[in-house]
Amino acid sequence: MGEESGQGVEIMKEESFNDKIVNPPPPPPPPAAVAPPHFVLIHGIGGGAWCWYKIKCLMENCGYKVSCLDLKGCGMDHTDPNTILSFHDYNKPLLDFLSSLHDNEQVINYLTLFTHTHVCVILVGHSAGGLSLSDAIHKFGKKKIKLAVFIAGTMLRSGFVTDQDIKDGVPDLSGFGELNEVFDIGFGLGQDHPPTTLMVKKELQRKIIYQLCPQEDSTLAAMLLRPGPIQALTTAQFKDTEDKDKVPRIYIKTMQDNVIKPEQQEAMIKKWPPSDVYILESDHSPFFSAPFLLFGLLVKAAVSFGC
C-alpha cells in the first residue's frame, strides 16, 4: 500500500506539472504604450488649414497625427465672413471638433484596458488663433487638451477686456500707412457701423506678413487669404474658469515679426506667464519661413510634456 500511495503522489505531481505547461498562468498586462500626440493646428485671421501644409507634411512623415481646421468663414468654409459677428460663432468649428473627441480620462481608461495606448491632444494656434486656444482652454481644460502652443499668438487670459489687452493683442500696422491704405475693409452692416472684415492689401502682404518667406509661399497666400471677421475677433471675451491655468502653455516668440511685434508678445507673456517660452528668428509666418525649426520646437514641446 505504501508503494501505491507513493506512486499516486508522484502521478499527481506529474499531472500538476503538466497542467502548468499546457495551461500556463496568463502573463501580466504590458505597460500602457504612448500613442503619437494628436496636433490640432489653428490658423490666424484670414488664413485657413492650408497655412499648415509644410508642418502637416513634416509631422505626418514622422508618424504624428495632425488635424488642420478651417474656422468659420475661413479657408474652404463658404460662410461670408461679413456675417460672422460673434467669436463663439467664428470659433465653433474648433469647439465642435474638440467636443467630438473623447475626454482624455475616458480615452486613457478605455484604451488602457483594451489596447494599452493613450491619447495626447496638443492645440497649436498662430496669431489670432491664440484667441481660439484660450477659448478652448476655458471651455474644455485638461479633459480634452494636454498642451497649448501659441505661435506669435494673441495670448490673453480673458480676451479683449481692457484697453491694455487691445494694445498688447491687436496688430499695430500704422507704420505701414493709414488704416484704409493698409487694409481692404468690409462694412457688412453698412458704412455707419464698425467694420466687419479686414484684410491686408495684396501689395503689402509680403512686406508685412511674409517678408522672410519663400516667394512661392507668399504668392500662394496672396491667392488664398480671405477677409477676416474682425468684429468677431475684437469682441472675443472669455468667462473666467478654474481650468484656465490647468492646461500647460508654451509661447513661441517670433523675433522679426511685423504683425504681433516682439514687445507685444513679451507683454502678453508677462501678463499670463506660460510654462515655457521658445525663441524663433522668423517673421510672422514661421510655418512658411522656418518650417523645420518650427517643427522641431513643436516636437520639443510635445516631448517636454510627456506626449
Which of 43, 118, 138, 284 is flagged as catalytic?
Answer: 284
d(CA 209, CA 214): 12
Which of 257, 283, 285, 289 is flagged as catalytic?
Answer: 257
- Find out whether 241 and 157 touch, Cβ atoms under 8 Å: no
Give how far Cα 77 sits from Cα of 26, 39, 50, 135, 221, Å.
Answer: 53, 21, 12, 20, 16
Whether 132 is catalytic is no
Closest CA to 188 of 179, 199, 196, 200: 196
- Find out whether 233 and 90 touch, Cβ atoms under 8 Å: yes
Whether 168 is catalytic is no
- Find out whether 307 and 37 touch, Cβ atoms under 8 Å: yes
Alpha helices in 62-189 (DSSP H): 87-100, 104-114, 129-140, 163-169, 179-182
Q: Which residues partner with 66 through β-bridges?
A: 39
**Cα within 13 Å of Cα(240), Cβ side:** 2
- Find out whether 87 and 235 touch, Cβ atoms under 8 Å: yes
Question: Helices 87-100 and 129-140 meet at what angle, rounded to 10?
Answer: 60
Give how far Cα 119 sits from Cα of 108, 224, 280, Å.
Answer: 7, 33, 28
Whether 116 is catalytic is no
Measure CA of the first residue to CA of the last residue in the chain; give whole Å.
68
- Find out whether 156 and 166 touch, Cβ atoms under 8 Å: no
Which of 43, 118, 126, 127 is flagged as catalytic?
Answer: 127
Residues with catalytic roles:
127, 257, 284
